[in-house]
Structure 1
């Protein structure tokens, strides 16, 4: 998993509430177990018409947001089913952080496991960043995970809370497999001792 420390990028404004995981990545794209290739279908039903053509006024189809690394969204982002494909699709598109006033719990935790930083801020702070995001490529939002701050394009600094363990995992690029591999030596020692004590197993 790619490490997350600081991020400075264009943010896409998505001022909708209750954006659920089926909106993020519709169910017909859940057949794959690969984490790559889903970015093209991120927000598929909002990005494309029935013939597969881009809908020009959807935010991610606008030139200034095609490489957005941050999404500023409305309340209750990531609600609905618990599909891990949702953060996979966001990450494959290039999104490394989502800022909202609240997230669905399962989606929130899945983000950390896939290298995405979900940030909870107050409605007033999100409003400031939403206005920033609406400026397009003329405004960049800066995120510092170590300092736990978000800085607006105009220099306003907002602090956010994050669980210490989740923060460590993002800073060090550790997913569940990476965390397990950190204990490889201890696991090997245990397995050797168990094999010696119970050779018939």
Structure 2
């Protein structure tokens, strides 16, 4: 995964609470293969009318929105089902960070595993960021090392799990994170084998099972 240190990019405001995973990607689109690009399905029913006509006033249809890598929203973002496709839709659209006062637990975990930062801010700070962004995409800076966000003159702090922060700063997945402890794991395995030699499998035993 691509590491995140500082994002100097465009941000968009989605001033809504309880944006659930079915809004992020309606279930009917999940039969499509990921290779088609799930970004086209992001918030589909929110930004289109019943006939599928795009709402030109919606933030993702504004000029410059395709360059946005950061979305700011309200509390309980990503609640609902555990569908990882909700994260795929955001990532495939181009987002690398979502900022909100709270997230669905599974959504946040899926986000990190796909290289996207779920940055938690206080509710009043979310409102300040939403107001600063306004109705058009606008410049935003997200500094994961310092855990600070800045839009125009508004600057706030955010929180993220230390383990998730380490993974995102380095572009690591769970396997990469485990590999950082390879020496400790090797020492433990050697010590365990010496302390409990009887617990080690014997190849001869498997041979006898096969012959039986």
Instruction: Give the TM-score category using the shorter length.
Output: 0.7 to 0.9
> Is the counterpart of residue 30 in structure 1 residue 34 in structure 2?
no
Q: Aligned residues, how many? A: 195
Name the structure where helix makes up a greater proportion of residues. 2
Q: TM-score, normalised by structure 2?
A: 0.81
Q: Which of these two proteins has the greater Rg computed from alpha carbons?
A: 2
Tell me how far 1:174 sits from its aligned partner: 1.0
Q: Which runs of 5+ in 1 are unaligned?
A: none
Q: Distance in 2 between matches of 1:54 and 1:21?
A: 20
Aligned position for 1:140: 139
Deviations 1:127-146 (A, max 9, x none): 11101221634x31111101
Q: How does 1:1-201 map to 2 (within 5 A)?
A: 1-32=1-32, 34=34, 37-134=37-134, 136-137=136-137, 139-154=138-153, 156-180=154-178, 198-200=202-204, 201=206
* Structure 2 CA distance for partners of 1:35 and 1:167, relative to 1, 3 Å: farther
Q: Distance in 1 between matches of 2:48 and 2:149?
A: 32
Q: Distance in 2 between matches of 1:110 and 1:35?
A: 18
Asked whether the 8 Å contact 1:10–1:136 carries over to 2, the reply is: no
* Structure 2 CA distance for partners of 1:167 and 1:130, relative to 1, 3 Å: same
Asked whether the 8 Å contact 2:133–2:151 carries over to 1, the reply is: no
Tell me how far 1:107 sits from its aligned partner: 0.8
Q: TM-score, normalised by structure 1?
A: 0.85
